[in-house]
Structure 1
Amino acid sequence: MSLPRRALVAAAGALAAALVLAGCGSGSTGGTELAAAKGTTAPDGTAVNLSPNQNRVTTPKVDAIAALVPEEIRRKGTLTVVDSIGTTPPLDFYANDDRTIIGVEPDIASLVGNVLGLKVEFNPVSWENIFVGLDSGKYDVGLSNITVTEARKEKYDFATYRLDILGFEAKKGSGLKVTGPKDLAGRVVGVSTGTNQEKLLISWSEENVRNGLKPIDIKYHQSTEYYLALSSGRIEVFAGPNPSLAFHAVQTGETEVVGTYSGGGADVLGKIAATTKKDNGLVKALNGALDELIRNGTYGQVLKRWGLDNEAVKSSEINPQGLPKPKP
């Protein structure tokens, strides 16, 4: 589901400040680059292009890394990338033509394709169909804010490229501050099913019960359904990727991010990764390409452009420790 074009243009210019105020900023000025297209600029005079003509950062092919790509993919010359277009800016969303996919994830996917010498084909689907498509071999790789988890590692291989920062969004003026499980005890909290943040809420709720507190009343909302639930009071808080929630808070002016947390929980640093079917031979090429982007600086340019430079990793890891499985 795409956001209305006028809403995107109106909201984008203020996103950088919101990311900092919401706890997503790192003290850098990179976030001020996210501004609306067609003449609207950020305070430092920079702007982000929200049109279909993205003029993305590019980088040369690296033959030694391209040689790591499985022969079948090299032969077809195309890297089929699957992403969930239901997410909101600045992750992956539609440009102001309501058709072209743009955002930090497509930018990184395009750079990976550059290094590997492959044309990138984007395939927008619903969240659950990312994994269905990877399982069947229909798609080569998922780049859609996918967190490494121990359960997912049983079926998929991962090459990391961002830190996973979750946010908690509530009505402005609610007085809520979320720093840990006890802050949500007895609260009605919305989340999307099958996500990293769902697993975190379940573990928090169980911890609250063990500590003699009320469980979290978890409600499930897909895509942008939570907007209405939050505004109508059917949920008190929504848990999701912090960049998306911060953007939405700016867009509406009626909500705010009231806390952030590592997507991996208290003991594991959550990491976002390029995701491919286990043992299909592609992960080493993805890892090599991502390390090359980090080394040559194009990776940093992309994150800075979208206000996410505080989520940068120093190197790409293959199948690192992930979010633990829920306890039985």
Structure 2
Amino acid sequence: MTIRTTLRAALLGAAALAAVASGALADQLADIKAAGKITTATDMHYTPFDMLNNGTYEGMTKDLFDEVAKEIGVQPVYQDIPWTAELPGLEVGKFDIVIAPVTVTAERLERYTFTPPIADATVSLVKAASNKELTKPEDIKGKTVGVQQGTAQFKQLQAYGESLGGVTVKEYGTTDEAYADLAAGRLDAVAGSLPNLTYLVKNRPETFALFEPAQFGKPSYFAWVLRKDDNSESFRKAIEDAIAKMTADGRVKAIQEKWLGSYTELPLKPVVN
């Protein structure tokens, strides 16, 4: 065997070992446990799931994910990221998971991995409490309705408006901005998920009221989002197991009741809408 042949064999062997090592280490859950932390992204302007109270992060999402991280045995690191930057940032590895409540859709399932549902996400409508003209969802025909940009609720509102014969849809960076315009009379209604709007009306009944019925469109769910690759499967399974345990011991129920005022039993497996 020549020196050249020996060197080539050594290099090939080293490359093979590196590939094996890379495969062995390509496990997101193992990496998270080794780091001792889960780096998350959410938009902290999505009451009651995510909010800043005098600069302190709180909400239903935080309470749920604190418990999930505890079950996994690591510390959560929470980052306030604009909604439109969250999924692109996840794809390029800026964080481990998006914990903003993301509506599960068939389109998103092709691109991302979802956890089991964390809440009902069925799109609904809220109006000014003083507005007696609008009662049922179809009354928004010809009206101006606000909604957060880039959300599944935005797409459902667009489709529903078209089915009615026309609705002017105004997009907002955050739901707080839409609520402010509704309170100021610049909008006729705001579309969002039922939990968000229920919380809003519960805390500001003098300003806002739900339509009756509030919901339109097909039932849907919120979940958290991971990258769609084999490396993420162990992490997804750990979250699924944690949620199942928290559901069984009553922690999920207690957190829902704290923030939403009621409990909705949710599927314990990822759901395709």
**2: CA distance, partners of 1:248 / 1:177:** 17
Aligned residue in 1 for 2:192? 240
**2: CA distance, partners of 1:185 / 1:177:** 12
Aligned residue in 2 for 1:286? 239
Per residue, is there more helix in 1 or in 2? 2
Identity %: 23
**1: CA distance, partners of 2:241 / 2:125:** 34
Aligned residue in 2 for 1:120? 76
**2: CA distance, partners of 1:304 / 1:172:** 24
What does 1:76-225 correspond to in 2, within 5 Å? 76-88=35-47, 90-95=48-53, 98-159=54-115, 160-175=117-132, 176-179=134-137, 182-208=138-164, 214-223=165-174, 224-225=176-177
Q: CA deviation at 1:252?
A: 7.2
Equivalent position SS for 2:42: strand
**2: CA distance, partners of 1:136 / 1:241:** 28
Q: CA deviation at 1:69?
A: 6.0
Aligned residue in 1 for 2:225? 275
Q: CA deviation at 1:242?
A: 3.0
Residues 182 and 190, structure 2, Cα contact 8 Å, conserved in 1: yes
Aligned residue in 2 for 1:6? none
1:298 aligns with 2:220: no
Q: Which amino acid aligns with 1:272?
A: F
Residues 43 and 81, structure 2, Cα contact 8 Å, conserved in 1: yes
**2: CA distance, partners of 1:291 / 1:274:** 15
Q: Which amino acid aligns with 1:188?
A: T
**1: CA distance, partners of 2:183 / 2:111:** 38
Q: CA deviation at 1:308?
A: 4.7
Deviations 1:260-283 (A, max 9, x none): 226xx23xx311112111123222
Deviations 1:39-97 (A, max 9, x none): xxxxxxxxxxxxxxxxxxxxxxxxxxxxx962211211111121111212x211123xx
**2: CA distance, partners of 1:253 / 1:309:** 21
Q: CA deviation at 1:169?
A: 1.6
Deviations 1:191-218 (A, max 9, x none): 111112111111112322xxxxx31111
Q: Which amino acid aligns with 2:139?
A: D
Residues 147 and 154, structure 2, Cα contact 8 Å, conserved in 1: yes
Residues 182 and 188, structure 2, Cα contact 8 Å, conserved in 1: yes
Instruction: Give the paired residue count.
Output: 239
Residues 81 and 142, structure 1, Cα contact 8 Å, conserved in 2: yes
Deviations 1:132-177 (A, max 9, x none): 2211111111222211011111221111222224331211231212
| Larger Rg over CA atoms | 2
Q: Given the two structures, how large is their TM-score scaled by the length of structure 1? A: 0.67
Equivalent position SS for 2:223: strand
Q: Which amino acid aligns with 2:241?
A: G
Q: Which amino acid aligns with 1:305?
A: K
Gapped runs of 5+ residues in structure 2?
Answer: 1-26
Per residue, is there more strand in 1 or in 2? 2
Residues 303 and 312, structure 1, Cα contact 8 Å, conserved in 2: no
Deviations 1:237-258 (A, max 9, x none): 1112333334444337222122
Equivalent position SS for 1:124: coil
Gapped runs of 5+ residues in structure 1?
Answer: 1-67, 209-213, 323-328
Equivalent position SS for 1:107: helix
Cα RMSD of the aligned pairs, angstroms, is 2.1
Q: Which amino acid aligns with 2:73?
A: G
Aligned residue in 2 for 1:251? 204
Cα separation, partners in 2 of 1:308 and 1:146, compared to 1, 3 Å = farther
Residues 171 and 231, structure 1, Cα contact 8 Å, conserved in 2: yes
